[in-house]
């Protein structure tokens, strides 16, 4: 039995190490070094009988190297994640910097602009959860957009912070390839980009929140942006992504929000929130999903007037004002 456990443990350590090294290094030599180390462990097991010692040293070496990797602020970032939103709070006023206002020509190219804005927390009238699906309907990117009595909505999006030329990788997200970014943007940038040039299926769900909840969730986003500007953090595909961060911030709604498979299958988060009465609107969840779909409307936008007003033009979305919430 011990022999079976040893070989299974060696297999797991070897596969984990190979994946981690493959993500972190473009060269082949780290994998060759790992193969040589594994061969020594096999020899120690079959020869002198020190296989467990060898396996332990191999595992400690890999883990020590992996956890020595530290997130950074000074990489050559892709243009759309070059800046992370930061805010300065003065009473009910929040002065925000690094708000993205790109105007996308296609999925990869845009007229770039970063702006500033002052938000009066007393002017927040509502919030919407936006989901964007590009392939598997069980996996969605999540955004939260705040509406105001005056001025355009402002959207927050937790994303990977890619370097120039990098592409998203689920595997890389498990092995410290990307830092975490919080982007604040206007909807004509971040929602239009996903619905039109990227061709994703985008839904907008109005939320039922009290004024104090709206302000607290907004301030939680500002705090997260400030934290990431001060101390970078790794993105993790399972543990620190757009869904888990939204869940952590949403605990202001109810301190005992339970863990759920929806935190991994983010496309199911509307069902999770609907169970707590957070999604506004009438009818079943299927009715709310149908009413929330804005992709086609976004693609039909005539590129004049307010994009945010256009995607809410049927009178069913975004009209809910502050309610009693939870």
- Over the stretch 171-185, which tens digit does the pLDDT of each residue have? 898 999 999 999 999
pLDDT of residue 253: 61
**How far apart are alpha carbons 202 and 301 in whole angstroms?**
14
Report the DSSP beta bridge partners of residue 23: none
Write down the residue that tokens 């595992």 correspond to. Answer: 59
Q: Are 174 and 238 in contact (CB under 8 A)?
A: yes
Q: Are 211 and 124 in contact (CB under 8 A)?
A: yes
Q: Are 294 and 287 in contact (CB under 8 A)?
A: no
**How far apart are alpha carbons 61 and 57 in whole angstroms?**
6
**How far apart are alpha carbons 154 and 148 in whole angstroms?**
9
Q: How far apart are the first and last CA of the chain?
A: 53
**How far apart are alpha carbons 298 and 191 in whole angstroms?**
8
Rg (C-alpha) for the chain, rounded Å, is: 23
pLDDT of residue 325: 42
Report the DSSP beta bridge partners of residue 131: 142, 203
b/e code 182-219 from CB counts within 10 Å (16+ = b): bbbbbbbbbbbbbbbbeebbbbbbbbbbeeebbbebbb
Q: Quick one: residue 233, left, alpha or beta (phi over 0 = left, psi -120 to 50 = alpha)?
A: beta
Q: At 132, is the secondary structure helix, strand, or coil?
A: strand
pLDDT of residue 319: 43
pLDDT of residue 229: 97
pLDDT of residue 318: 43
**pLDDT below 70 — which residues of the chain?**
239-265, 314-326
């Amino acid at each position: 039995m011990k022999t079976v456990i040893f070989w299974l443990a060696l297999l797991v350590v070897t596969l984990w190490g190979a994946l981690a090294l493959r993500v972190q290094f473009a060269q082949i030599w780290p994998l060759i070094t790992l193969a040589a180390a594994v061969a020594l462990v096999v020899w120690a097991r079959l020869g002198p009988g020190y296989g467990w010692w060898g396996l332990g040293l191999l595992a400690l070496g890999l883990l020590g190297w992996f956890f020595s990797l530290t997130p950074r602020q000074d990489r050559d970032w892709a243009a759309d994640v070059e800046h992370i939103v930061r805010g300065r709070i003065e009473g009910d006023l929040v002065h925000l910097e690094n708000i993205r206002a790109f105007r996308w020509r296609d999925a990869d190219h845009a007229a770039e602009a970063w702006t500033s804005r002052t938000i009066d927390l007393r002017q927040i009238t509502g919030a919407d959860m936006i989901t964007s699906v590009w392939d598997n309907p069980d996996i969605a990117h999540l955004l939260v957009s705040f509406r105001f009595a005056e001025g355009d909505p402002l959207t927050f999006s937790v994303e990977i912070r890619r370097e120039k030329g990098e592409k998203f990788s689920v595997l890389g997200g498990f092995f410290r390839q990307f830092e975490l970014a919080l982007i604040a943007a206007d909807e004509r940038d971040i929602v239009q980009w996903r619905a039109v040039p990227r061709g994703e299926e985008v839904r907008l769900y109005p939320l039922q929140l009290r004024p104090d909840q709206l302000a607290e969730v907004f301030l939680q986003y500002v705090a997260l942006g400030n934290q990431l500007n001060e101390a970078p953090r790794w993105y993790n595909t399972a543990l620190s992504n757009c869904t888990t961060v939204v869940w952590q911030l949403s605990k202001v709604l109810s301190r005992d929000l339970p863990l759920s498979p929806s935190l991994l299958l983010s496309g199911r988060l509307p069902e999770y929130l609907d169970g707590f009465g957070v999604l506004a609107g009438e009818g079943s969840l299927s009715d709310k999903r149908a009413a929330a779909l804005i992709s086609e409307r976004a693609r039909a936008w005539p590129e004049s007037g307010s994009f945010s007003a256009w995607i809410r033009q049927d009178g069913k979305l975004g009209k809910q004002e502050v309610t009693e919430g939870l």
